A and B are shown apart, each in its own frame.
Chain A
Amino acid sequence: MNGMELALDCVRFAYPQGRFTLALDALHVAAGERIAIVGPSGSGKTTLLNLIAGIITPEQGAVRLGETVINTLSDASRRAFRIQHIGFVFQDFSLLDYLNVLQNILLPFRVNPVLTLDANVTERARRCADELGLAGKLDRPIQQLSQGERQRVALCRALVTAPRLLLADEPTGNLDPRTKQHAMEVLTAQRQQSGATLLMVTHDHSLLSGFDRVIDFATLAQEAD
């Protein structure tokens, strides 16, 4: 599967109740490229990923994913586009504690009508979990997992929809060095298999060597009143 090209042009976004405003003149990521985004806390890295994923929409500018300008789509279409083409590993993993590992991995298929949950998907989820070292833990409740295991569940959930664009928001932030290294290996291997474009926010400079390009967000974006 090919990765997805990504381009942001003259994007401006402000949170309704806050003073924070993100302004980004241009960002272009080629299909299949691996990008690390670094920058100080509060500079808007997570906001950028949410804009790219279509979870939030800019006030001005365009977020283009492949041939689609995602911010011009309706809510429903944007949601459908996101779930079909984008995988997102959240900073806090965003796992539901009342579901077990496999149920969490398959959750996108249960809450989105555009995705169909069938035996093939379940098999793919099992295979993905197996590759991420979760094979024997599919029936475990989330609370019984370590941070590293939770991170892998979140990664598996992001990958099970076979995304063309993988967004990861500090996925190694809560991990110890050994687990962190392993997680990166897994992420890299999985991305290599799928060929997906990867954008990962990180504070950890030891991981940057594995990326094609590193963007310092402080120089890329502007913060304005």
Chain B
Amino acid sequence: MHAFYLAWQYIRHNRIKSVLLVCGVTLTIVVPAAVFILVRFGEEWLMSRAASTPMVIGAKGSRVDLSLHALYFRSKAPAPIGMAEAAKLREAGLAIPVPLYGRFTARSFPIVGATLDYFDFRDLRVASGHQIAKLGDCVLGARVAQALALGAGDRLLSDSENVLDLSGAYPLNMRVTGVLAEERTEDDFAVFVDLKTAWVIAGLGHGHQDVSKADESVILDRTGNTVVANAALPEYTEITDENIGSFHFHGDPAGFPITALIALPRDEKSAVLLRGRYEQQDAAAQLVIPEDVVGEIMEMVFKAQRIFNYTVVCIAAATVLFLVLIISLSLRLRSTELQTLHKLGCSRHTMITLVGAELILIGGISSLFSAGALVLVLQLAPVLMRTFLA
């Protein structure tokens, strides 16, 4: 124990040198280990969600974009398909359709328009408050609630798509009805609304002042039951119990947009039939198997990681050589001190023990810091993965 006592005194006295050594060793441990952890976590995180999502239907185009959008609400929203696609799927009886509409954000978090089927499919529970009940309601993912410090009863305004676009939709002031339990998935980072609320945000539905009671200055034409008003007619940007009745949709509901349609086949045969339908040349949409798509992405990641692994081995070898050089130079600089110890009766074995104790302490401290940093990486892995995927 005297060796460790003396080694600790030496380390304390030579603070800057010790801190530099600890930082160097810690970084050498943490960087490759963190990359390894993140890649493994990312694989598990991406694959588990992909594996639990049997099929996704969406507009023809990038399979990767469609998969990332439907699974992680990442990437730019793909071109929309009509709600008719979901109806068609239901009528065919081959799969349960779970439509998603994710084009908008609220304070940078994605707003996901979905039906209650989505919550059942992902097994999402409301931890506080209650589920979406009315038009204009939203429930928050656990991390969104934490980040924005919002809870049931609060209000959340959707982000304006383009403030310079006069014909664009108004932001909607949504009522937060509940917060979902943390799942450590992308659902924690989303704001969920009913599909109809998402369409209101898109400007397909709206509520405004009763035109029969509106100021005459905003009325352009009255013909029978039809009243035409100009843009000065006040539109509601918030859905309340008083004005909810004035909200209505224009157009054919079958053509209302969704950005992805998760299909839950009833059985294996249904899945095969469904794939066959969408593989036909004249199919209006495409069907992707997220597990295959994410698998392809991970294959590329692993290829990159293999290169990284070789690099890490080379860097680790270089680091060990540098450490040997540093230690030997340090011993040369400390020759007077070692001479003193020798004169005081210290054996060569004890001197090696002393230097060894210093290395063990430096290594131990570095390992502690590394462990702390890696625990932090593990804790922040969902956020880090989300950042990397952004």
Q: Which B residues lie at the A interface, using CB under 8 A?
A: 2, 5-6, 9-10, 12-14, 337, 339-347, 350, 354
Cβ contact within 8 Å between B344 and A112: yes
> In the complex, A75→B14 CA distance in Å?
32
Closest to B340 in A: A94
Cβ contact within 8 Å between A79 and B6: no
Cβ contact within 8 Å between A108 and B9: no
CB-CB under 8 A from A55, the residues of chain B are 342-343
Contacts A110-B5, A111-B2, A117-B2: A98 and B346 contacting too (C-beta < 8 A)?
A: no
- 10 closest residue pairs by CB, A with B: A98-B13, A83-B345, A111-B346, A110-B2, A94-B340, A112-B345, A79-B345, A98-B10, A108-B344, A98-B9
CB-CB under 8 A from A90, the residues of chain B are 340, 343
> In the complex, A55→B5 CA distance in Å?
25
Contacts A96-B337, A117-B2: A107 and B344 contacting too (C-beta < 8 A)?
A: yes
Closest to A107 in B: B344
Cβ contact within 8 Å between B344 and A99: no
The answer to the question of A103 belonging to the interface, with a C-beta cut-off of 8 Å to chain B, is yes
Cβ contact within 8 Å between B345 and A98: no
Closest to A90 in B: B343
CB-CB under 8 A from A79, the residues of chain B are 345, 347
Closest to A79 in B: B345
CB-CB under 8 A from B13, the residues of chain A are 97-98
Cβ contact within 8 Å between B340 and A110: no
Cross-chain contact of A112 among B6, B340, B346 (Cβ < 8 A)? B346
Cβ contact within 8 Å between A82 and B2: no
A-B contact pairs, 18 of them (CB 8 A): A55-B343, A79-B345, A79-B347, A80-B345, A83-B344, A83-B345, A94-B344, A96-B337, A98-B9, A98-B10, A103-B9, A110-B2, A110-B6, A111-B341, A111-B346, A111-B350, A112-B345, A112-B346
CB-CB under 8 A from B346, the residues of chain A are 111-112
Cβ contact within 8 Å between B10 and A76: no
> In the complex, A195→B350 CA distance in Å?
32
Cβ contact within 8 Å between A96 and B340: yes
CB-CB under 8 A from B14, the residues of chain A are 98
> In the complex, A113→B10 CA distance in Å?
20
Closest to B13 in A: A98
The answer to the question of A13 belonging to the interface, with a C-beta cut-off of 8 Å to chain B, is no
> In the complex, A55→B342 CA distance in Å?
8
> In the complex, A221→B212 CA distance in Å?
128
CB-CB under 8 A from A94, the residues of chain B are 339-340, 343-344
